[in-house]
């Protein structure tokens, strides 16, 4: 069963009088419980693809079905609902609310989902425990290390039990050891049955995934299985 | 409905969190609204207070009284022409009293400014009214001590005086004025009565609280020559509905007394409170409008301050808006968040302003009477709330329609 099914999507930006193709013609299927890495040099269109996959943006043309529902012509509010319930984002720069503690950050998507106070508290706490931040729930982002911040972000992505986790360079702002820990966390999450899409430009990081999609100039250059998968050397949770 | 309430509640919490997180900026913004609301409320209560005391003061004078006078109170007519009129004399008054059938009471009045003393205490430039014993019937005076001077005292021009409450306070702080002998312009008078407070600072010298009343004959005897002074005749109608008829009769009687032919104009004026009220209303109306306009302007400036801050706040929190949108905040959620933030700031500012205004009114009340109206309280709260919503609308809309991709990219 595929979660993501895109057919011939293109994205065109108008720069002055010139049309710039960020994506020319991309077709792609991602099944449940896949672990996919999207790779490509800058300007290859991988950010645009990620934004479209994440329902942050809509394609100029083409079809995008998410869980067999067409999202290519949804309006802003419908897209917001999809992002809220079906997609968990993990960003390179963590993107946590600076003035809120870890618990509130993780709770936030549940607030927008309209879940009652007691239930969302419980779910947020539980998810923070899962990512190994039991003792850091009431710390604000600036009181946490980079790795811990990214764990909060992962918890925020997981808390709504989304269909896919979309991670954009999740180790880009971390040292290699911490990065390795985060990748271990992703492997764990994947093992629990989640679908993960990882955007990166580092070969080594991409090889944690089971499948790599390589983009170049707005087209899929290669879509291949990873033969020598990397498995994290560091135990992820509870550090 | 439930989800809407839920969203409002959550937006409220987010807004309060944002206000708390930016204490300095929020309170500076609030200051604009605080000043605006304080100014508007103080202004409106002061105006209302002045108005109330004018109304009560004017009713102490009696709404059904006519004042026949050489002078016209409010007129555009040539002053020289009025000055050339003949004086109204005591003989005119006596004749008027004989001929006019409708009035309930008629009294001649003449005034003079004198110094009033008791021991070391003195009040300068007191409005001294000379009249007869019927004078009190042309007013609504009430007494705190004693009585008005009697007909016998009046006719025999005794040295007796009735003093207003303010005069009594100045000369007799202990309130023991009755039967004391005071000096008016150097002559001894026995205090036979003290008026209860009639109450209106706005009438100034017209306020009976600041006046002294003695028999008219005594005034002529001690202060003014009868021959070259004009008197006023106070005429009280039997009831307010008969005022117009009483006025018509008075005009006819006066014309007859003065021997005017049909072609001649009146050489006297019949004044009434209505003129005073009209004049007051037109003056106070202008003050009211100007005052509320100016204070309203400060509220408006405060509102612009809020709008400005909210725009800055939206710009500054672009990234936050991007994050919120990425994890599923809808347009109306973001709109609601910023609207609630601005209206909460305004509402808090409004409440603080109201509190300050009430304190200020209490302080001002020491000098001029003010009264904080419930309606002013409600209006102040509503106005600050509406100000918040209106000032927050444009910035909140900007935030709501942000593109999440661009907002996330913003540093």
B280-339 pLDDT, tens digit each: 778 778 888 888 888 888 888 888 888 888 888 889 889 999 999 999 999 988 998 889
Out of B216, B242, B272, a domain closes at B272
pLDDT of residue B204: 63
B326 touches chain A (CB under 8 A): yes
Whether B292 and B165 map to the same domain: the answer is: no
pTM higher than the cut 0.80: no
- B147 plus B21 within the same structural domain: no
Let me know whether B215 and B106 are in one domain.
yes
**Mutation for A interface: B12, B323, B327, most A CBs within 10 A:** B327
Contact criterion met (CB below 8 Å) for A47 and A199? yes
Residues A184 and A208: beta-carbon distance below 8 Å: no
Q: Name the pLDDT band for A14 (thresholds 50, 70, 90).
A: confident
Residue range A22-32: average pLDDT?
93
The answer to whether B16 faces chain A, any CB pair under 8 Å, is no
Asked if residue B377 lies in contact with residue B354, where contact means CB atoms within 8 angstroms, the answer is yes
Q: How many domains does chain B fold into?
A: 2
pLDDT at site A238: 45
Boundary of a domain, candidates B272, B295, B329 = B272
A100, closest residue in chain B (CA to CA): B17
Tokens linked to A18: 């010139």
CA B347 to chain centre: 29
Whether B10 and B85 map to the same domain: the answer is no
For residues B259 and B292, membership in a common domain is answered with no
DSSP state of A71: -
- Give the tens place of pLDDT for each residue, A57-109: 989 999 999 999 999 878 889 999 999 999 999 999 999 998 889 999 999 99
Residues B287 and B225 in one domain: no
DSSP A171: T
Q: How far apart are CA A151 and CA A102, in angstroms?
A: 10
CA distance B409 to chain A (A): 10
Three-point CA angle B248, B277, B195, nearest 5°? 95
Domain's final residue, options B272, B300, B332: B272
B208 and B102 belong to one structural domain? yes
* Chain-chain contact of A80 with B330 (C-beta, under 8 angstroms): yes
Same domain, B110 and B7: no
C-alpha A94/C-alpha A153 separation (Å) is: 6
Are the CB atoms for A109 and B328 separated by under 8 Å? yes
Domain that holds residue B167: 64-272
State chain B's mean pLDDT as an integer: 86
- The 10s digit of each residue's pLDDT in B217-230 is 888 888 876 556 78
- Looking at the DSSP bridge assignments, the partners of residue B145 are B194
Question: Is A233 a residue whose pLDDT tops 70?
Answer: no
- Chain A residue closest in CA terms to B332: A77
B379 and B403 in a single domain? The answer is yes
Q: What is the mean pLDDT of chain A?
A: 90
Q: Which of helix, strand or coil describes residue A15?
A: strand
Asked whether residue B197 carries a pLDDT value surpassing 80, the answer given is: yes
Q: B76 and B159, same structural domain?
A: yes
Q: Is A64 on the interface with B (CB under 8 A)?
A: no
Q: Percent of chain B scored above 90 by pLDDT?
A: 26
d(CA A198, CA A91) in angstroms, rounded, equals 10
Position B255 pLDDT exceeds 70: yes
ipTM of this predicted structure: 0.92
B325–A112 C-beta distance less than 8 A: no
Residue B120 CB burial class (10 angstroms; 0-12, 13-18, ≥19): exposed
Those residues with Cβ within 8 angstroms of residue B92's Cβ, 6 or more apart along the chain or in another chain: B231, B233, B254, B257, B258
Q: Which residues of chain B does A141 touch, with a Cβ-Cβ cutoff of 8 Å?
A: none
Closest residue on chain A to B321 (Cα): A97
pLDDT of res. B276: 72
Residues 6+ apart with CB under 8 A from A27: A6, A7, A8, A9, A220
A161 DSSP assignment:
-
Residue B322 touches chain A, beta carbons under 8 Å? yes
Mean pLDDT of all residues in A154-177: 93
Residues B91 and B184 in one domain: yes
**Co-location of B236 and B292 in the same domain:** no
């Amino acid at each position: 069963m595929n979660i993501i099914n895109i057919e011939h999507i293109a994205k065109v930006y108008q720069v002055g009088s010139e049309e710039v193709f960020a994506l020319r013609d991309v077709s792609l299927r991602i099944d449940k419980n896949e672990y996919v890495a999207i790779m490509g040099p800058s300007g290859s269109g991988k950010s645009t693809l990620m934004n479209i996959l994440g329902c942050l943006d809509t394609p100029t043309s083409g079809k995008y079905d998410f869980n067999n529902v067409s999202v290519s012509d949804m309006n802003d509010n419908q897209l917001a609902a999809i992002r809220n319930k079906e997609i968990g984002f993990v960003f390179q720069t963590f993107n946590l609310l600076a003035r809120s503690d870890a618990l509130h950050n993780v709770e936030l998507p549940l607030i927008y989902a309209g879940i009652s106070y007691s239930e969302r508290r419980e779910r947020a706490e539980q998810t923070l425990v899962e990512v190994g931040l039991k003792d850091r729930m009431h710390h604000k982002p600036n009181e946490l290390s980079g790795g811990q911040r990214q764990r909060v972000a992962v918890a925020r992505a997981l808390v709504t039990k989304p269909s896919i986790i979309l991670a954009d360079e999740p180790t880009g702002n971390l040292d290699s050891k911490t990065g390795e820990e985060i990748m271990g966390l992703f492997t764990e999450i994947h093992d629990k049955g989640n679908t993960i899409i990882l955007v990166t430009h580092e070969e080594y990081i991409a090889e944690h995934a089971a499948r790599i999609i390589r983009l170049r100039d707005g087209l899929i250059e290669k879509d291949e299985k990873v033969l020598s998968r990397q498995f994290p050397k560091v135990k992820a949770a509870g550090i | 409905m439930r989800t809407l309430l839920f969203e409002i509640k959550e937006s409220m919490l987010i807004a309060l969190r944002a206000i708390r997180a930016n204490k300095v900026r929020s309170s500076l913004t609030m200051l604009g609204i605080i000043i605006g609301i304080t100014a508007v409320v103080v202004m409106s209560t002061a105006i209302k207070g002045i108005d109330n005391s004018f109304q009560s003061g004017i009713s102490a004078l009696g709404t059904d009284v006519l004042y026949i006078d050489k002078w016209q109170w409010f007129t555009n007519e040539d002053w020289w022409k009025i000055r050339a009129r003949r004086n109204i004399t005591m003989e005119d008054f006596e004749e008027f009293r004989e001929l006019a059938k409708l009035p309930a009471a008629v009294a001649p009045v003449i005034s003079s400014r004198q110094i009033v003393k008791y021991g070391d205490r003195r009040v300068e430039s007191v409005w001294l009214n000379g009249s007869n014993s019927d004078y009190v019937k042309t007013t609504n005076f009430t007494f705190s001590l004693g009585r008005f001077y009697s007909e016998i005292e009046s006719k025999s021009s005794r040295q007796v005086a009735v003093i207003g409450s303010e005069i009594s306070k100045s000369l007799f702080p202990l309130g023991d004025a009755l039967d004391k002998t005071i000096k008016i312009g150097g002559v001894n008078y026995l205090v036979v009565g003290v008026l209860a407070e009639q109450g209106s600072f706005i009438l100034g010298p017209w306020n009976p609280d600041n006046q002294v009343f003695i028999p008219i004959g005594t005034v002529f005897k001690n202060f003014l020559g009868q021959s070259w002074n004009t008197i006023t005749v106070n005429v009280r109608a039997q009831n307010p509905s008969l005022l117009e008829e009483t006025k018509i009769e008075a005009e006819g009687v006066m014309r007859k007394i003065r021997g005017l032919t049909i072609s001649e104009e009146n050489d006297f004026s019949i004044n009434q409170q209505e003129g005073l009220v009209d004049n007051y209303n037109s003056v106070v109306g202008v003050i009211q409008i100007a005052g509320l306009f100016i204070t309203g302007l400060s509220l408006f400036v405060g509102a612009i301050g809020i709008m400005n801050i909210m725009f800055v706040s939206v710009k500054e929190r672009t990234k936050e808006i991007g994050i919120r949108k990425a994890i599923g905040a809808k347009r109306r959620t973001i709109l609601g968040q910023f609207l609630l933030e601005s209206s909460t700031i305004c509402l808090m500012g409004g409440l603080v302003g109201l509190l300050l205004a009430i304190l200020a009114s209490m302080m001002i009340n020491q000098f001029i009477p003010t009264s904080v109206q419930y309606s002013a309280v409600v209006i102040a709260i509503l106005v600050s709330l509406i100000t918040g919503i209106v000032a927050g609308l444009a910035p909140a809309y900007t935030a709501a329609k942000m593109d999440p991709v661009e907002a996330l990219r913003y540093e």
